[in-house]
Amino acid sequence: MKKSIRDFDLNGKKVIIRVDFNVPIKDGIIQDDNRIVMSLKTIKFAREKGAKIILLSHLGRIKEESDKEKNTLKPVRDRLSELLNYDVIFSNVTHGKELEDKVNSLKDGDILLVENTRYEDLDGKKESKCDEDLGKYWASLGDIFINDAFGTCHRVHASNVGIASNLPNGIGFLVEEELNNFKVLDNPNRPYTVILGGAKVSDKIGVIESLARTCDYILIGGGMAYTFLNALGYNVGSSLLDIESKDFCIDILKKYKDKIILPVDSIVSKELGSDIKLKNNNEFSPDDIGLDIGDKTIEEFKKIINKSKTIVWNGPLGYFEIDKYSKGTKEILDTLSKLDITVIIGGGDTASAATNFGYKDKFTHISTGGGASLELLEGKELPGIEVIDEI
C-alpha cells in the first residue's frame, strides 16, 4: 500500500503538494473549478495539521514566452482564496529568490501557490522532461512531498516524479480516491461497457486494444468514430479523420466486430456552427462534417447501456461545446444518470460536460484525470504513483 498524507506528522513541516489546477480558463475566467474543489480536502487537512503548504501545478502548455500570460495560475489563486476564505500567497516565479523568500517566511497553516510549473518548459522543457536538477531544487524547498495531482500521474515530470525521488513522500486524498474508484474495474459486474468519444483515435489506441479484450461492448462516438467508419469503407465527408490510425481501426474492427458498436447516423454541418442535418452513414456529402451522433445511434447506444452493469466513459460523443451538437452527449448522460449501476466518467471534457449539463453528482465517480484514467484502464502502472513509497 502506498504511503498517504495521513502517515506523516505535518506540524510545522514544509509540505509540497502537487495539485492539478489545470482548469479551463477563458479571458481570465475559470470555466470549471472542479479540479480546484477536488483538491481542497488534502489542502485543508494539511492546514489543520499545521503544515506550511507549498502548492505546485501546471496549467496548459508553455511553448513560447507569449503563452505565459494566458496560462498564469493567478486566477486559480483568486478562486482558491475564495474557496478557502484565506488569502493564498502567490509566487510569480518558479525558481529563485522571490520563491525562496516566500517559502522561508511561511507560518504554520500558510499556503503558497507557485506559478505554473510549465514556465520551466521555456528553458529546455525542464518540467516536462523531468530535469533532475529542477526536481532536486523544488524538493529542497520542502520537507515532505504529497502527490495529489491524479491528472498528471501518467507523466514523468519534475514536479511529480522529480520531487518525489528526492523527499519523503505520499499520496493525497484525491489520488487515493481515484485509485480506489478504478479498482472496481479489476473485477467489473457484467456486462461491462466502455463508451469512447472525443477527437483523436491515436490517443486512445492503447486503451481500445486492451479494453476490447476485457470489456463486453465498446460504444464509439465523437470525432474518433469517423476514422472507424472510414475504415469500414464509408465516405465520411469532411469529418475528423485520423488517417494514420486507419489500419489500426481496420484490424481492431476485424478482431472485435461483435463488441465494437459504431454510429449508424450523425448530425452534420457544412461548417462548424452552421445549419444541421441528420444523415445516415451512407449519405455524407464531401463537405459534410459529422459533429454529433444521430438519433438512431443514441437509441442503439441506450439499448446496450440499459443492459450493462458497469460503464466507463471517456470522451464526449459530439462537439458538445456547441449546443446543436450536444444532444448525443446529453442524452447518454441522462440515461446513465437514471441507472443504479457503476458509472465511471473520465477525461477533462467528459467530466466538464457532466458537470455543465447538471449531472455532477449522479455517477459513481467522475475522474479528474483524462490520460491518467485511460492508462489505468489500459492496466498500466502510473509513474507518478509508482515512485511513491510503500508503507
Instruction: Point out which residues bind ligand AMP (CB under 6 A).
Output: 197-200, 203, 222-223, 240, 290-291, 315-316, 318-321, 347, 349
| Residue of 130, 197, 193 whose CA lies nearest to 165 | 130
Q: Which residue is nearest to ligand AMP (CB)?
A: 198
Quote the least distance from Cβ 79 to ligand AMP, whole Å.
22
Give CA–CA dist 368/366, Å, rounded: 7
Closest to ligand AMP by CB, 45 vs 234, is 234
Closest to ligand AMP by CB, 67 vs 321, is 321
Q: Which residues contact 103 (CB under 8 A, 6 or more apart)?
A: 14, 52, 54, 112, 141, 142
Pair 348, 316: CB distance under 8 Å: no
Closest to ligand AMP by CB, 172 vs 318, is 318
| Residue of 183, 129, 182 whose CA lies nearest to 160 | 129
118 is catalytic: no
Closest to ligand AMP by CB, 223 vs 383, is 223
Parallel/antiparallel/unpaired status of strands 29-30 and 265-269: unpaired
Quote the least distance from Cβ 16 to ligand AMP, whole Å.
29
35 is catalytic: yes
What are the two backbone dihedrals, phi and then psi, of residue 185, each rounded to the nearest 5 degrees? -80, -5
41 is catalytic: no
Quote the least distance from Cβ 97 to ligand AMP, whole Å.
39
Tell me the residue type at 286. P
348 is catalytic: yes
**3 state DSSP class of 112:** strand
Closest to ligand AMP by CB, 295 vs 321, is 321
- Pick the catalytic residue: 151, 197, 237, 348? 348
- Pick the catalytic residue: 237, 347, 371, 384? 371
Pair 294, 264: CB distance under 8 Å: yes
What the block records as the C-alpha cell of 30 is 475559470
Quote the least distance from Cβ 291 to ligand AMP, whole Å.
5
Quote the least distance from Cβ 91 to ligand AMP, whole Å.
31
Quote the least distance from Cβ 228 to ligand AMP, whole Å.
12
Closest to ligand AMP by CB, 147 vs 193, is 193
- Pick the catalytic residue: 35, 77, 102, 126? 35
**3 state DSSP class of 238:** coil
219, β-bridge pairs: 195, 261
Give CA–CA dist 60/62, Å, rounded: 7
Pair 5, 42: CB distance under 8 Å: yes
Cis omega (within 30 of 0) for bond into 286: no
**Sign (positive or negative) of CA dihedral 226, 298, 365, 357:** positive
Q: How many CA atoms lie within 13 A of 54 on its CB side?
A: 29
Active site residues per annotation:
35, 200, 348, 371
